[in-house]
Structure 1
Amino acid sequence: MTVNSPPGLAQLLGDLAIDLQHESGTEATLQAITEGAVTLVPGAWGCGISMVQGRKVTPEAPTNPVVAELDQLQSSLDEGPCLSALREQRTVQLEDMATEIRWPRFARAALDRGVRSMLSFQLFVIDDTLGALNLFGDHSEAFNEESLLVGGVLAQHASIAMIGAAAEAHFGAALASRDIIGQAKGLLMHRENLTGLQAFALMVKTSQNANIKLVEIARWVVEQHESRLNRT
């Protein structure tokens, strides 16, 4: 499928690249990932990243106040899918808060705030700190297999961003299943003078603003590059 170039898309890419060069790399990337997840992951109404030390949960880059509040509630209640993703499993899916029995107090609190389902991905361990990428749905059974795939890719990028620049050399491994995104990332790094993390954040933000899927944005970048080569 060829992406039709929407009006101003090239300018949008350039403007966002300039903005990213002036932002704090890790913080800006995490915010782009959580905001992008709401657009890119089927069923996602809200998203946040939880940093956990011991029994304390600290919300990072929440997309709205309800997300931050629910992350903090998991800390005070000492229960919830985020904590289970960190302590027991890599990925935890909660299909319906109304029938959930694993975390009854958290489920009731989530229902009171209009959240019906949830998906949590364990992030890499950093010293004594753990992390989780949390996706929230406003209806039951909001997340499907595509949600798991796209959310997993975003979780990998969040992990790398949290580890910092030392892990950036391994950035491409997170995109092994998305070769076209990896190609586009490399082209943007070279063309716009961005780091790998900034290039990914650029594509996520462009996907949001242009209302085009991330993989189609990547395909458009590659096609534009190949078209220029063919004209020379």
Structure 2
Amino acid sequence: MSSSIDSQTAAQLQEILVGADDAVEFLSGLAGMAAAAVSEAAGDTIECAITLKLHRRPVTAAGSSARAIELDHVEQALGDGPCIMALREMSTVLVVDVSLDARWPLYMQKLLDVNIHSTLGVPLEISGGAGAALNFFATRPDAFSPDVYEKAEAFAAAASNTLQLSVRLRTVQGRADDLEAALESRTAINLACGVIMAQNRCSQEEAMAILTKVSGNRNRKLRDVAKELIEQLSGSPVRTHFDT
């Protein structure tokens, strides 16, 4: 696969990432793009589902079709199959002909029942303790020739980089949200202490002790008691002033 195609694929993946409103929309776009890329190489319609491993448990995240999603669900329910094996061993797993493959007999029969005759599981490297795999399905045996196999792996390599970027962005956003929440809590507590100090002509330590006692008596978090006090006095929610 040429570097120009790799660059084009990476650019398209980043466009999907930037344009998606949430993780599900991004992964659905990723599944559709994977199916289209491999279908073009195969000269046939290939469907794709995406399996994510979160907290050591694989789950179906998205798919290019309802059938792909359903087959991925079946594999998760059975607890093993080519995609789960690919994810577990971090190596590509190919089923050349479903009717002749003796592995996972229950799953193979489910594939045959819906006219799937070959499948390919391709793992994606993701940092942060997460994992993912592309689960490809074809309606004819031996659909994943060496060229198609290589295309699927090349796409997975490009997708891995974008998924890692997605994880990093969401980690940064999560940390930013946590920081904003912490700043709001600290602001509310400081303001509430100021009000108590003015009302009772006491020190900051004494004001904090009063606020803590109220929090304990009401069995509510300190920040919630502080926010309620400030909102009752000001008639508006507590806000930080660190916006750019």
2:82 alignment partner in structure 1? 81
The one-character-per-residue Cα deviations of 1:133-179 (angstroms, maximum 9, x if unpaired) are: 111101111111111221112112222222225779xxxxxxxxxxx
CA deviation after TM superposition for structure 1 residue 101, in Å: 0.8
| Structure 2: segments with no counterpart, 5+ residues | 1-13, 170-244
CA-based RMSD of the aligned residues comes to 2.9
Counterpart check, 1:114 vs 2:115: yes
Give a deviation string over 1:15-66, Cα, whole Å, max 9, x none: xx99986433865554343223333211552011111236643222301111
Are 1:24 and 2:37 an aligned pair? no
Contact 2:16 2:30 in 1 (8 A): no
Secondary structure class of the residue paired with 1:164? helix
Match of 1:75, as an amino acid? Q
CA contact (8 A) 1:100 1:107 kept: yes
- Which residue pairs with 2:218 in the alignment? none
Structure 1 vs Structure 2: percent identity of aligned residues? 26
Question: In structure 2, how many angstroms separate the alpha carbons of the residues matched to 1:18 and 1:67?
Answer: 24
Structure 1 residues 128-207: aligned runs within 5 Å: 128-165=129-166
How many Å apart are 1:112 and its aligned residue? 0.7
**Equivalent-residue separation in structure 1 for 2:15 and 2:126 (angstroms):** 32
In the alignment, the residues of structure 2 paired with residue 26 and residue 140 of structure 1 have an alpha-carbon distance, to the nearest angstrom, of 33
Scaled by the length of structure 1, the TM-score of the pair is 0.57
Deviations 1:182-212 (A, max 9, x none): xxxxxxxxxxxxxxxxxxxxxxxxxxxxxxx
- Tell me whether 66-75 or 47-56 shows the greater mean CA deviation: 47-56
Query: TM-score if structure 2 supplies the norm length?
Result: 0.54
Instruction: Please identify the structure whose Cα radius of gyration is greater.
Output: 2
Q: Structure 1: where are the runs of 5+ without partners?
A: 1-16, 169-232
* Amino acid of the structure 2 residue aligned with 1:40: A
